Amino acid sequence: MGDTGSRPPQLRPGRALAHTPGASGSGASHRSDSRPPQTPRGARRPGPDGRLGTTPPVPGRPTFLPGLPGLLALLGFPAALFALITWQVVAHGPLARADERLSRSLVHPDRVSEVLADLGGVPVALPVLAVALGYVALSARAAGQQRWWRAPAVAAVLMAVVPAVIVPLKELVARPGPPVMGPGTGFYPSGHTATAVVAYGSATLLLLPRLRTARARRALLGLCLALNLAVAFGLVRRGYHWPLDVLASWCLCAVLLTASALFLDRSVSRSSRRSSAGTPSPRTGPS
């Protein structure tokens, strides 16, 4: 074949891929049946010594999932910030005292702030999530998707987890509220904030994959962010909560939402790998 000893051996004629000059004499590798290669191997670039480069990702492998550093960033940072805020509130440290001074300059009860705060209430946020759950479940079932109920079920369970986590924390920390709320405890963390973040955030995560254009996805994300910022502004402006009550709920719910999204991503990836394994494999044991 004219190859030198330093080059890799060539495949014999008659195999699926032969490194022999093509019909036009171009010298490009081609399939023996004149069809283009069906795997990414044909697009691999040669290395410095003329050998083929790195093997492309295996088809069906979830390359979009974060690795360990990404998981630590997504889950570790908000969890650590929540722990720091909780410690400061319980110990009434300098961060909690600064929070109270900031709140006194921000509180200005009015009708607008009260309406914005109500957007985080169960009577408003829960129906929004219910509509999103129903739409996603019905459309997925109509499309014939397997386990069409899984994503809506995870979002519904996450919403049910919110009071199970927030209420004990309120009792445990027993933080008094701003002066306009009068005597009483149980203001940390903010339940309205947690309801808004999980309800609107879960609805956004469910609807994003069904939007076809980047503009629509950006608009949905912007709407979710605007709703949560409006709720936070209303709660602090009206005097229902200290600013740290809101920030702590954001951190806690960021962990919950991220964990549920990672769970769904990995479940979908496992299903995709199982459904794409239609060719015989030399491995007979469990993967």
How far, rounded to the nearest angstrom, does the alpha carbon of residue 242 sit from its chain's CA centroid? 28
Q: Which ranges constitute the DSSP H helices of 119-186?
A: 122-142, 150-173
Report the amino acid identity of residue 286: P
The predicted model scores a pTM of 0.71
Q: pLDDT (tens digit, 0 to 9) for every residue of the chain, 287 residues total?
A: 445 555 555 555 544 444 444 444 444 444 445 555 554 544 445 544 444 444 444 433 333 445 556 666 678 899 999 999 999 999 999 999 999 999 999 999 999 999 999 999 999 999 999 999 999 999 999 988 888 899 999 999 999 999 999 999 999 999 999 999 989 999 999 999 999 999 999 999 999 999 999 999 999 999 999 999 999 999 999 999 999 999 999 999 999 999 888 887 776 555 555 555 554 444 433 33
Cα 137 from Cα 246, distance rounded (Å):
31
Residue pair 131/199 in contact by the 8 Å Cβ criterion = no
